[in-house]
Amino acid sequence: MLQDFLIDNYSLWKALHIIFVVSWFAGLFYIVRLFIYHTEAQKKEAAAKKILSDQFEIMEQRLWWIITTPAMVLTLVFGTLMIVANPYLLEQGWIHIKLLFVALLLVYHFGSQKMMFNMKRGVFKRRSGQLRLWNEVATLGLVAIVFLVVMKDNLNWIKGTIGFFAVAIGLMIGIKIYKRTRNKRKNNVQ
């Protein structure tokens, strides 16, 4: 009876899984942007630093505990329901690679959570440039997972690997260009 219910609602589990994956990634992308701004606020004068830090801590906590972490949990719940409803998925090679990326994404998630806890205690271990690179790790995870799920076993692994690294290199170049442009604008204002 339960197995029939799970199987009959497979499309529902899949739709909910996709919705919460999108929400989880949105939270992961935005939390690191908040970390960047929070870190940059530490260079302000004492009064502004206090006001900004207090506000960023509130925003980070709400984003993390109201959106990002619940979305992560629900992503895992509905992904698990999909596998329980269709155990044949585990016989396909691509799903094992996807699950590896999901495990790495969980490491990223809890690494970001640790950064948030450190910042709340006033410990800023990474500069804003390092955080910008950290933010791109989630982007690479998203690209890898989406291509893997859509292409499944049809993916040409050589082209896929080259494409994956091309995206990574492109992102790093984009960050460098953005940083240079931002620094030039700062210098022109001063």
Q: Give a yes or no: residue 163 inside a domain.
A: no
Q: What pLDDT does residue 156 have?
A: 66
Q: pLDDT tens for residues 176-190?
A: 888 888 888 878 776
Structure confidence by residue, pLDDT tens digits, 92-137: 888 998 999 999 999 999 999 999 999 999 999 999 889 988 998 8
Q: Could you tell me if residue 51 is inside a domain?
A: yes
Global pTM reads 0.83
Range of the domain at 100: 2-155
Is 55 a member of any domain? yes
Tell me what pLDDT residue 32 has. Answer: 97
On whether residue 179 sits in a domain, the answer given is: no
- The reported pLDDT for the residue numbered 23 is 98
Task: Let me know if residue 168 belongs to a domain.
Answer: no
- Structural domain contains residue 62: yes
Q: What percent of the chain has pLDDT over 90?
A: 62
Please state, rounded to an integer, the average pLDDT across all residues of the chain.
Answer: 90
**Residue 101 in domain:** yes
Cα 62 from Cα 125, distance rounded (Å): 22
Number of domains the chain is built from: 1
